[in-house]
Amino acid sequence: MESGDALRETSDALLRDLDVLATLEEEKRGLDPGDPRLVELAGRIEEIAKRILTGSVRQHQLTQRMNLDVATGAPDAPTSTIDETPRSMVLILAEWRDAERRAAAAEPGSAEASEARALADALRQEYQRAYGVAGHP
């Protein structure tokens, strides 16, 4: 995978995880003390936070390599910003469908269902933006 594409993918994943994290945290804040979902949501939040940390480390490594490529004039050095690097609509759609399946398969009202629903919503929005950028009405 080209470094610009890898950076875009990592950045997108970080943004999605941050959106999902915020959604779950807001849900958790509204639960009564003693609600068993507090513990379940806190566990999911911890898992997402770990993914965010891993993704941010990867992003740092990618940007270091990319900046070195640009500085040395490497022929495959990216020339576009992260925003200008398109993400495959096919990939977005596949991830969206997977999130929808996860949401449908999860126990209703569970932290897993909330996370999958938030992820599906974020991917739907990303797909709609990509669809508009691709020149579709």
What confidence score (pLDDT) does residue 24 get?
A: 93
Tell whether pTM > 0.85.
Answer: no
- Listed in sequence order, the residues at least 6 apart from 118 whose beta carbon sits closer than 8 Å to its beta carbon are 19, 20, 23, 24
What pLDDT shows up at residue 136? Answer: 65
Quick count: other Cβ atoms within 10 Å of Cβ 40? 19
Report the distance separating Cα 78 and Cα 35, nearest Å: 49
- Say what the pLDDT of residue 134 is: 64
Task: Please state the three-class secondary structure of 51-109 as a single string.
Answer: HHHHHHHHHHHHHHHHHHHHHHCCCCCCCCCCCCCCCCHHHHHHHHHHHHHHHHHCCCC
What average pLDDT values come out for the chain (137 residues) when binned by 10 residues?
A: 82 92 94 94 95 96 94 89 84 93 93 91 88 69
Structure confidence at residue 83 (pLDDT): 83
What is the set of domains in the chain, with CATH numbers?
3-133 (1.20.1260)
How far is Cα 53 from Cα 98, in angstroms, rounded to an integer?
23
Q: Which two tokens stand for residue 38?
A: 């507090």
Per-residue confidence (pLDDT) for residue 3, from 0 to 100: 76
In this prediction, residue 53 carries a pLDDT of 97
Residue 102: predicted pLDDT = 93
Q: What pLDDT is recorded for position 135?
A: 66
Residue 113: the pLDDT is 92
